[in-house]
């Protein structure tokens, strides 16, 4: 601790000042000793008084001298430096009980951590700002006064326009069917059925794709409202003895449990329940494909022409019709860690395993 305080302190003068204090103490005690001893035994009273007074004066002079010396030295010693690096928190380090209240060491660690965090955050923001991730045509940096006037036109589109775009895309691809609904206000929710492979729920914000969830063809995409069954394998409750052909058993099964499996046959029958946009798929394959779809919707960006974006996203999605049939273009195998090639290249639409993609 002396090292911390020694900036500007003259150690030499410090030591001298300490010895000067000791000298002062001893001369003061001599004064009081003299007073305590009283007058010495001499022949005459005057002689005794004179001797006493002379002795007393000597002692007082030595006291004065020592005090002056001390004052001189104290001016040389100087103050401890004001620009203490830790200010008041450095005084915490003087607390001797380290194991019970390790305040100082914890304080130092917290400080170092927050410094590192600030540094890393600065690096990250620099890296992230290199790629602009804004998908809408809003301009940041426009002053608050002007922003209400410069409304981005692509965010406020009439729903009819959105419907038109979606229906046009629906007709584009024969094996992909898109059903649009607006259960929660103006944002559209699409249920895209791709062949018999998968179903995708796409939540949109005007014509921008917000998020997607990919589920299997046989998984339930509607929320349960107490009437729907969850398991895809349907159970017919009546035993028909007159079943002769596969066809009629299918129909019978459908009649009996028609309201239970609306999600398999069509989506118009389950009008009471809503699209479940939050629950994940039960299969790892489709969870992976959901992640890829989220990557895709961030990749296809064109703030001025959102319908082109939606079209290219649907084209990319359509390449998943051969999810289980196409081998990976890189390693030639079908399975990697139990997963088929789930990644589709954004430009060439070739199938790769997630670990095989470039």
Q: Tell me the torsion sign for CA atoms 171, 172, 178, 182.
A: negative
**Segment contacting other proteins by CB under 8 A, of 40-48, 121-129, 269-277, 321-329:** 321-329
Please say whether the beta carbons of 76 and 14 come within 8 A.
no
41-70 residues near other proteins, rule: CB under 8 A = none
Q: Which of 167, 136, 132, 171 is nearest to 153 (CA)?
A: 136
Question: In the complex, what is the shortest distance from the CB of residue 357 to other proteins, in angstroms, rounded to a whole number?
Answer: 19
Q: Which of these, 114, 117, 89, lies nearest to 103 by C-alpha position?
A: 89
239 binds other proteins (CB under 8 A): yes
In the window 277-306, what residues touch other proteins (CB under 8 A)? 282-286
Does the CA dihedral 104-107-113-115 come out positive or negative?
Answer: negative
* 245 is a contact residue toward other proteins (CB under 8 A): yes
For residue 259, what are its two tokens? Answer: 């309201």
Give, as ranges, the residues between 249 and 268 that touch other proteins (CB under 8 A): 249, 253
> Does residue 338 interact with other proteins by CB under 8 A?
yes
Judged by CB, which is closer to other proteins: 44, or 247? 247
- From residue 185 to residue 204, the character string flagging contacts with other proteins as x (rule: CB under 8 A) and all else as - is -----------xx-------
Rounded to the nearest whole angstrom, what is the least distance from the CB of residue 250 to other proteins in the complex? 10
Q: Does the protein bind other proteins through residue 236 (CB under 8 A)? A: yes
> Residue 203 or residue 321: which is nearer to other proteins going by CB?
321
For residue 198, the minimal CB distance to other proteins (Å) is: 8
Q: In the complex with other proteins, which residue's Cβ is closer, 161 or 324?
A: 324
Compute how many residues bind other proteins; rule: CB under 8 A.
33
């Amino acid at each position: 601790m002396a090292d911390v305080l020694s900036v500007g302190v003259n150690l030499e003068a410090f030591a001298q000042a300490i010895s000067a204090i000791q000298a002062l103490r001893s001369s003061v005690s001599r004064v009081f000793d003299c007073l305590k001893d009283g007058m010495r035994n001499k022949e005459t009273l005057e002689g005794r008084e004179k001797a006493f007074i002379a002795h007393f004066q000597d002692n007082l002079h030595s006291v004065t001298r020592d005090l002056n010396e001390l004052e001189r030295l104290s001016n040389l010693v100087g103050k401890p430096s004001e620009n203490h690096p830790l200010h008041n928190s450095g005084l915490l380090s003087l607390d001797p009980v380290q194991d019970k209240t390790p305040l100082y060491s914890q304080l130092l660690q917290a400080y170092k951590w927050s410094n590192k965090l600030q540094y890393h955050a600065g690096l990250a923001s620099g890296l992230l700002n290199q790629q602009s991730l804004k998908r809408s045509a809003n301009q940041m940096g426009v002053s608050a006064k002007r922003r209400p006037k410069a409304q981005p036109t692509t965010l406020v589109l009439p729903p009819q326009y959105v419907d038109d775009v979606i229906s046009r895309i629906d007709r584009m691809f024969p094996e992909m069917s898109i059903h649009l609904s607006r259960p929660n206000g103006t944002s559209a929710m699409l249920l895209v059925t791709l062949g018999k492979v998968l179903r995708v729920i796409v939540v949109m914000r005007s014509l921008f794709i917000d998020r997607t969830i990919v589920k299997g063809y046989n998984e339930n995409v509607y929320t349960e409202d107490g009437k729907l069954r969850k398991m895809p394998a349907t159970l017919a409750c009546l035993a028909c003895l007159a079943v002769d052909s596969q066809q009629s058993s299918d129909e019978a099964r459908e009649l009996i449990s028609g309201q239970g499996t609306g999600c398999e046959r069509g989506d118009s029958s389950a009008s009471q329940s809503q699209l479940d946009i939050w629950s994940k798929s039960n299969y790892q394959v489709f969870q992976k494909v959901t992640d890829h779809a989220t990557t895709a919707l961030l990749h296809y960006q064109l703030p001025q022409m959102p319908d082109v974006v939606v079209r290219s996203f649907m084209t990319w999605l359509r390449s998943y019709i051969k999810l289980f049939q196409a081998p990976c273009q890189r390693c030639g195998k079908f399975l990697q860690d139990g997963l088929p090639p789930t990644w589709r290249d954004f430009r060439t639409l070739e199938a790769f395993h997630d670990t095989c993609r470039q």
